Amino acid sequence: MNDLTLPISDAGSLLDGEPIAEAAPAARRTRQARVAWGDHVVTVGGDAPVRVQSMTNTDTVQVIETAIQVKELALAGSELVRITVNTPEAAAAVPHIREQLDRMNINVPLVGDFHYNGHRLLTEYPACAEALSKYRINPGNVGRGEKGDRQFAQMVEVACKYDKPVRIGVNWGSLDQELLKSLMDANAKRSKPWELKQIMYEALVRSAIESAQAARDVGLDPNQILLSCKMSAVQDLISVYRGLSKRTDYALHLGLTEAGMGAKGTVASAAALSVLLQEGIGDTIRVSLTPQPGEARTQEVVVALEILQSLGLRHFNPSVTACPGCGRTTSTVFQDLTKQIDDFLRSQMPVWRDRFPGVEGMKVAVMGCIVNGPGESKHADIGISLPGTGEAPSAPVYIDGERVLTLRGDNIAGEFRAIVEQYIERRYGAVTAAH
Ligand code: SF4
């Protein structure tokens, strides 16, 4: 095997090579859709930030329960919330859910998820059509042949009438079987047939693009069309979205469908979405986590925010850099402090976001011992380096790279929280005062 390691330059010519390029997400170049409720407009695509969305798992007919979950998702950071609209009763409930939200001052736009009977529900329940800010149509579930085309057109006509954007959401689990069959037939006639997977990818991408064209033919503004082609395997999703983004400039809704539960769902979603977002693919994301028993639905929003923040695409919460701990931190003091600080910052953010603009970009370091503690703490805006087991019971605190004081005793956590709060007031409160 060749040794690819480049020789290190001699002293005196230390920087004579090429600098190492800084990694950054590629620019996105899509059209921009406007999803609005009243004066509140959420732009998706183009130069808008990558948006976070989520979906309720309540029975839409249960108006109060659904409105409360929408509120929780919105407060957690979801900028759009989708609800199932599957029956006449659900369609009738939608305007009441909207009213409840308006009463609670929650202006998050609602997206209606339609399958099979969307054409009837949207035409027979105009108040539902108006209360929703966007419709999701699955071209695989609108009906077959000419009837399917007619029913699809019916839904798009409603979108045009009320000026609502539409997501054409293709899903591998409910792919248009006629299209798949015609591609299989065409493949059988090729001298060098494609792999089955490539036919599958082609069917998904074609279904989305052809449906978008059909929506435009009905009169829908192309800027008001979003596309998605969801798959449940990471490499399949990456393949399909790469293909999709090469062939269209519609805004793309990105998500791994049926991601699963817990660590599996979180990691699979992060893996798939990160690759694509880094390539500039994806204008709005949803993390489709199956909640673990007792887990809040908002966990999917927490994961979505973390993905965007980890990639440096957006900042929602101050970031806490913490070492993993090791044999030098055998007590739980370090873990407790890290959790307390993290919980404290997250719980305060709904208030701080308005009071202290810019605080979401703050970096806090909570480190276990002197090995990396002082170094990481100096790089953060504010940091603390705890005493490792067996070290002197003192914890130096660093602010803006300078060691400013050392905490001792058994209330290090409380005192550090107070210092963080004072720092935020001083640094970010000044921004508010200047405005
Ligand atoms: S900073 Fe110290 S406690 Fe934390 S992982 Fe490194 S050596 Fe272990």
More confident residue, 65 or 368: 65
Strands (E) in 18-128, as ranges, are: 32-37, 40-45, 51-55, 80-84, 110-114
pLDDT of residue 8: 63
Q: What per-residue confidence (pLDDT) applies to 259?
A: 87
Q: How far is the CA of 363 from the centre of ligand 1 (A)?
A: 18
Q: What are residue 395's DSSP bridge partners?
A: 407
CA distance 370 to 94: 56
Q: Give residue 159's pLDDT band: very low, low, confident or very high (50, 70, 90).
A: very high
**Averaged pLDDT for residues 388-396:** 78
Reported as a pLDDT band with limits 50, 70 and 90, residue 366 is very high
**Residue 430 pLDDT class (50, 70, 90 cuts):** low
pLDDT band at 7 (very low <50, low <70, confident <90, very high): low
* Average pLDDT over all residues of the chain: 92
Amino acid identity at 330: T
pLDDT (average), residues 410-420: 89
Q: How many CB atoms lie within 10 A of CB 98?
A: 23
Nearest protein CA to atom 5 of ligand 1, as residue: 325
- For the CA of 373, the closest atom of ligand 1 is 1
For residue 346, name the pLDDT band (cuts at 50, 70, 90). confident
CB 325 near ligand 1, within 6 Å: yes
Tokens (6 digits) for 344: 């404290």
Lowest-pLDDT range, 238-247, 263-272, 322-331, 403-412?
Answer: 322-331
Structure confidence at residue 15 as a pLDDT band (50, 70, 90)? confident
- Given a contact cutoff of 8 angstroms between Cβ atoms, the answer to whether 428 and 356 are in contact is yes
184 lines ligand 1 (CB under 6 A): no
Closest CA to 318 of 298, 295, 346: 346
Share of residues in the chain with pLDDT > 90 (%): 76
Residue 411 pLDDT exceeds 90? no
262 to 157, 240, 331: CA distances (angstroms): 40, 25, 27
Residue 11: predicted pLDDT: 56
Higher per-residue confidence, 110 vs 368? 110
Please give the pLDDT value at position 54.
Answer: 98
Lowest mean pLDDT among 128-132, 205-209, 391-395, 418-422: 391-395
CB 151 within 8 A of CB 119: yes
Which of 367, 370, 385, 398 is the pocket-test mutation for ligand 1 (most atoms within 8 Å of CB)?
367
Cβ–Cβ under 8 Å, residues 94 and 112: yes
Segment 186-209 mean pLDDT: 96
What is the CA(371)–ligand 1 centre distance, in A?
Answer: 6
- State the pLDDT confidence band at 389, using cuts at 50, 70 and 90: confident
Model pLDDT, residue 1: 60
When comparing pLDDT for 207 and 433, which is higher? Answer: 207
Mean pLDDT over 31-40 rounds to 98
Instruction: Provide the pLDDT confidence category of residue 12 given band limits of 50, 70 and 90.
Output: low
- Output the CA 327–ligand 1 centroid distance in Å: 8
Residues 6+ apart with CB under 8 A from 182: none
Q: Looking at ligand 1, which atom is closest to the CA of residue 385?
A: 1
Atom of ligand 1 nearest to the CA of 334: 3
**Among residues of the chain, what percentage have pLDDT more than 70?**
95
Supply the pLDDT for residue 9.
58
* pLDDT score of 328: 87
Q: Is the CB of 369 under 6 A from ligand 1?
A: yes
